């Protein structure tokens, strides 16, 4: 091990302090924002970068919002070269110029100066309840181009000297629905960056600039060594993964594919997406930042779990991500990108996970339940005010990993459990929707030696006036995400609109009218499995049957475990016969 340039104790303190600051920033947003999606469901990310846009601390968030944040910080640095001052607050959401993901994710960036010198950047990015455009919510298909998807904000200063530029904010907020609410969420984000500035300044006061900066170098070098050590252990070679989204929302029922080749050579790793489909008319296009961030997130899942909160610039050094311009994973202006955090964004992760599970079978990971949510928007008759609401309640739980079943309830392969589901009591009090049912649905988990977590039966009734429904933030009706080592892929999801005695199927990536009294029913697929299900411990299968995660038929047909319907005991004889005959076949 190289000689440490700083006292190891100072290093450890500084390293942890920077992580704590990020957690505290998120806490401030959590406590003060008003958007259901941000405050309750945690669609928010934070991070710290240095004055050269190198990644310093990225312990928590949604991958597309922050892992590739260095690209975005670099943009701000270049754009405002020579014109950055203490107390500046810069707002960016432009995916093309500003390396963001899609328009509802607004990022607030604060340069942090110490004794007149720019040393750090902090950023808080969160999903706004509205960003203008043709429909509320930001996940609607068939927009003409990105301008129809909403307000596209390049880097602009919304504060100078810690004072709001009121005319600028007015122009922005005049172009969104619910300007009062968005203003509160913006203040919450700004407050979090201010807290970061205070804490980082205190850290610099305490240890001195030279020491803190020396710690950064040491932190980056150490994570780099640890990541290289993991890659080094992977046999050199090329590993392939692929995944698809149902369609692009414009050209319906034609899956769109992302394909990746991961080349491992010594202690370096290259992810090449050049075999992916071309850029589309529909809204599943990913800008490079989205692809870069998601590839990193997927790779981090395979690193030493102890590195989790410690990743930084050093982790990025041994890794190269390439995606050809004009492809669906490096779309060019003015392609629409609305659904890309979910549709295509998640598939990028899935393809990398599939490839890496072959490269590192001892750490195989199966894909998580696909996002199967939507936006409702309409009028709340109780207050006569417009509302928009989305949720994370419906998507199935986590995929299995080698050694463990999928984590029930955990959500989103793009956020790895950092976003949350809601409370029925909160939703009913706030929005004119009544929950009829929300529980695990039997036989919705991907089978395996280690099975995926369950999907859900979710059903609500519109007790407000007529409303709109955008199903853009869902996927997985046609396509399935891969399991690993012979485990079953994610089961498909389906949804229905029930009006009186009529039940009709509704589909992802569309817009629907929902009348007062209509019922929406969704059955989501859960996580994928790891390993051949016919090798799962029969005792575990029995408990899954008793707990109604798995039906008796599925136990027999997929797991090759015969359960007596009366006693719910394993029929050992029939099971071993079934398992051995399958083994021979």
Partner 1 sequence: MYRACIDIGGTFTDCLILDTQGSLRAFKVPSTPRDPAAGMLNGLAVAARGYNKKPDDFLRQIDLIVHGSTLATNALLTGRGAKVAMLTTKGFRDVTEIRRGYRNVRTSMFNLFIPPYKPLVPRRLRFPIEERTLYTGEIVTPLNDGEVRQAIGKIKEAGVEAIAICFLHSYANKANEDRAAAICREMADGLYVTSSYQVLPIWREYERFSTTVVSATIGPIASRYLNRLGDSLKQQGFKGSLLMVQANGLVETPQESIRRAVYLLGSGPSAAPSAAAYCGRITGKDHLISIDMGGTSLDVSLIRKGEIPMTTECWVGDERVAIKMVDVHSAGAGGGSIAWVDSLGLLRVGPQSAGAEPGPACYGKGGEDPTVTDADLLLGYIPADYFLGGEISLDVDLARKAVQKVADRLRLDLLQAAQAIHTTVNSFMADSITEISTKRGYDVRDFALIAGGGAGPIHGPALAERLGISTVIIPRFAALYSAFGMFAMDIGRDYARSYHSRVDRVSLEQVNRLYDEMELEAQAAMKSLKMPKGEVNLARTAELRYVGQFHEVEVPMAAGKLTEHHVKEAVAKFHKRHQELYTFSMNFRAVEFLNFRLKATARKAAFQLEKIAQGKKKPEGSLKRRRTCIFNGKSFNTPVYDGERIRAGNVIRGPAIIEEQATTVVVPPAFECSADRFKSYILRKRK
Site for partner 1 in 172-231 (CB under 8 A): 180-181, 184, 187-188, 190-191, 194-195, 199, 222-223, 226
Taken in order 272, 274, 279, 283, the sign of the CA dihedral is negative
Cα 20 from Cα 12, distance rounded (Å): 12
Point out which span in 24-32, 132-140, 258-266, 495-503 binds partner 1 (CB under 8 A): 24-32
Q: DSSP readout, 99-112?
A: --SSTTEEEEEEEE
Nearest approach, Cβ of residue 324 and partner 1 (Å): 28
State which of residues 75, 106, 283, 440 lies at the interface with partner 1 (CB under 8 A): 440
Nearest approach, Cβ of residue 369 and partner 1 (Å): 11
Considering the complex, state which of residue 77 and residue 365 has its C-beta at the smaller distance from partner 1. Answer: 365
Cα 155 from Cα 134, distance rounded (Å): 23
Cα 533 from Cα 250, distance rounded (Å): 37
Nearest approach, Cβ of residue 568 and partner 1 (Å): 10
- If binding is defined by CB under 8 A, does position 401 make contact with partner 1? yes
State which of residues 361, 403, 517, 583 lies at the interface with partner 1 (CB under 8 A): 403
Considering the complex, state which of residue 28 and residue 256 has its C-beta at the smaller distance from partner 1. Answer: 28
Count of residues of this chain found to bind partner 1 when the rule CB under 8 A is applied? 91
Whether the CB-CB separation of 70 and 64 falls below 8 Å is answered with no
Nearest approach, Cβ of residue 259 and partner 1 (Å): 23
Nearest approach, Cβ of residue 392 and partner 1 (Å): 7
Cα 261 from Cα 417, distance rounded (Å): 27
Cα 351 from Cα 323, distance rounded (Å): 14
Nearest approach, Cβ of residue 212 and partner 1 (Å): 15
Omega before residue 334 within 30° of 0, cis: yes
Looking only at residues 335 through 374 of this chain, which bind partner 1 when binding is defined by CB under 8 A? Answer: 363, 365
Whether the CB-CB separation of 238 and 474 falls below 8 Å is answered with no
- If binding is defined by CB under 8 A, does position 66 make contact with partner 1? no
Three-state secondary structure call for residue 173: helix
Q: What angle do CA 60, 66, 72 make, to 5 degrees?
A: 155
Looking only at residues 377 through 396 of this chain, which bind partner 1 when binding is defined by CB under 8 A? Answer: 392
Considering the complex, state which of residue 121 and residue 456 has its C-beta at the smaller distance from partner 1. Answer: 456
Give the x/- contact pattern for partner 1 in 412-431, rule: CB under 8 A. Answer: ---xxxxxxxxxxxx-xx--
Nearest approach, Cβ of residue 128 and partner 1 (Å): 13
Taken in order 426, 427, 431, 436, the sign of the CA dihedral is negative
Closest CA to 259 of 247, 276, 245: 276
Residue 355's H or E segment, with its range, is helix 345-359
Point out which span in 25-33, 108-116, 145-153, 515-523 binds partner 1 (CB under 8 A): 25-33
Structure token digits, residue 234: 């992977």
Cα 471 from Cα 225, distance rounded (Å): 44
Nearest approach, Cβ of residue 349 and partner 1 (Å): 12
Query: What are the DSSP E strand ranges found in 237-327?
Result: 237-245, 256-265, 268-272, 319-322
State which of residues 12, 238, 332, 582 lies at the interface with partner 1 (CB under 8 A): 12
Altogether, the residues listed in the chain come to a count of: 585
Residue 470's beta-bridge partner residues? 375, 511
Cβ burial, residue 173 (10 Å; 0-12/13-18/19+): middle
Alpha-carbon distance values, 397 to 401, 406, 533 (Å): 13, 7, 18
Considering the complex, state which of residue 185 and residue 475 has its C-beta at the smaller distance from partner 1. Answer: 185
- If binding is defined by CB under 8 A, does position 158 make contact with partner 1? no
Considering the complex, state which of residue 13 and residue 250 has its C-beta at the smaller distance from partner 1. Answer: 13
Looking only at residues 31 through 60 of this chain, which bind partner 1 when binding is defined by CB under 8 A? Answer: 31-36, 39-40, 59-60
Looking only at residues 251 through 270 of this chain, which bind partner 1 when binding is defined by CB under 8 A? Answer: none
Residue 545 main-chain phi, psi, to 5 deg = -70, -45
Point out which span in 13-21, 84-92, 245-253, 507-515 binds partner 1 (CB under 8 A): 13-21
Considering the complex, state which of residue 11 and residue 101 has its C-beta at the smaller distance from partner 1. Answer: 11
Considering the complex, state which of residue 160 and residue 408 has its C-beta at the smaller distance from partner 1. Answer: 408
Nearest approach, Cβ of residue 348 and partner 1 (Å): 16
State which of residues 367, 453, 485, 519 lies at the interface with partner 1 (CB under 8 A): 453
Nearest approach, Cβ of residue 62 and partner 1 (Å): 9
Looking only at residues 111 through 130 of this chain, which bind partner 1 when binding is defined by CB under 8 A? Answer: none
Considering the complex, state which of residue 17 and residue 355 has its C-beta at the smaller distance from partner 1. Answer: 17
Looking only at residues 529 through 548 of this chain, which bind partner 1 when binding is defined by CB under 8 A? Answer: 546-548
Cα 394 from Cα 511, distance rounded (Å): 18
Cα 72 from Cα 94, distance rounded (Å): 10
Q: Kindly give, in sequence order, each residue whose CB lies less than 8 Å from that of residue 374, ignoring residues fewer than 6 positions away.
A: 139, 390, 391, 469, 470, 471, 472, 473, 474
Cα 268 from Cα 202, distance rounded (Å): 37
Nearest approach, Cβ of residue 450 and partner 1 (Å): 10
Give the x/- contact pattern for partner 1 in 301-330, rule: CB under 8 A. Answer: x-xxxxxxxxx-------------------
DSSP symbol at 450: B
Nearest approach, Cβ of residue 516 and partner 1 (Å): 17
State which of residues 379, 436, 511, 534 lies at the interface with partner 1 (CB under 8 A): 436
Structure token digits, residue 414: 């793009």
């Amino acid at each position: 091990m190289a000689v440490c340039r700083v006292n190891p104790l100072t290093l450890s303190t500084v390293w942890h302090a920077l992580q704590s600051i990020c957690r505290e920033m998120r806490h401030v947003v959590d406590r003060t924002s008003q958007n259901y999606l941000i405050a309750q469901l945690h669609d928010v990310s934070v991070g710290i970068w240095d004055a050269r846009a190198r990644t310093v601390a990225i312990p928590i968030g949604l991958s597309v919002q922050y892992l590739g944040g260095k690209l975005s910080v670099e943009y701000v640095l270049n754009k405002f070269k020579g014109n950055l001052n203490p107390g500046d607050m810069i707002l960016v959401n432009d995916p093309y110029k500003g390396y963001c993901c899609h328009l509802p994710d607004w990022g607030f960036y604060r340069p942090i100066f110490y004794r007149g010198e720019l040393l750090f950047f902090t950023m808080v990015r969160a999903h706004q309840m509205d960003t203008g455009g043709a429909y509320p919510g930001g996940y609607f298909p068939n927009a003409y181009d990105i301008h129809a998807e909403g307000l596209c904000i390049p880097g602009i200063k919304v504060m100078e000297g810690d004072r709001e530029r009121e005319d600028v904010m007015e122009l922005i907020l005049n172009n969104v629905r619910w300007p009062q609410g968005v203003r509160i969420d913006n203040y919450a984000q700004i407050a979090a960056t201010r807290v970061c500035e205070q804490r980082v300044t205190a850290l610099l006061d305490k240890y001195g600039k030279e020491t803190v900066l020396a710690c950064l170098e040491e932190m980056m070098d150490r994570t780099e060594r640890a990541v290289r050590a993991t890659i080094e252990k992977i046999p050199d070679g090329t590993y392939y993964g692929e995944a698809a989204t149902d369609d692009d929302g414009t050209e319906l029922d034609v899956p769109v594919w992302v394909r990746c080749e991961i080349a491992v050579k010594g202690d370096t790793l290259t992810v090449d997406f050049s075999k992916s489909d071309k850029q589309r008319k529909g809204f599943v296009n990913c800008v490079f930042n989205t692809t870069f961030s998601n590839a990193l997130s997927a790779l981090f899942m395979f690193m030493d779990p102890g590195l989790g909160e410690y990743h930084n610039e050093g982790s990025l050094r041994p890794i190269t991500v390439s995606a050809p311009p004009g492809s669906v994973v490096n779309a060019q202006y003015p392609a629409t990108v609305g659904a890309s955090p979910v549709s295509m964004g998640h598939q990028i992760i899935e393809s990398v996970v599939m490839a890496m599970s072959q490269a590192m079978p001892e750490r195989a990971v199966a894909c998580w339940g696909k996002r199967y949510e939507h936006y409702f928007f309409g009028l709340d008759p109780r207050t006569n005010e417009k509302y928009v609401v989305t949720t994370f309640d419906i998507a199935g739980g986590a995929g299995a990993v080698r050694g463990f079943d999928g984590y029930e309830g955990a959500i989103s392969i793009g956020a790895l459990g950092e976003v949350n589901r809601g409370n029925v009591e909160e939703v009913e009090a706030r929005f004119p929707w009544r929950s009829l049912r929300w529980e695990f649905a039997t036989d919705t988990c991907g089978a395996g030696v280690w099975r995926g977590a369950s999907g859900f039966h979710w059903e609500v009734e519109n007790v407000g006036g007529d409303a709109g429904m955008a199903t853009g933030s869902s996927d997985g009706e046609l396509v399935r995400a891969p399991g690993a080592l012979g485990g079953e892929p994610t089961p498909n999801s389906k949804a229905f609109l029930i009006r009186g005695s009529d039940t009709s199927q509704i589909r992802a990536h569309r817009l629907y009218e929902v009348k007062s009294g209509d019922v929406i029913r969704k059955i989501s697929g859960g996580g994928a499995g790891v390993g051949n299900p016919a090798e799962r411990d029969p005792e575990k299968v029995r408990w899954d049957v008793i707990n109604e995660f798995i039906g008796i038929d599925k136990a027999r047909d997929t797991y090759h475990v015969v359960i007596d319907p009366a006693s719910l005991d394993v029929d050992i004889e029939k099971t071993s016969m079934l398992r051995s005959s399958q083994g021979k076949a």
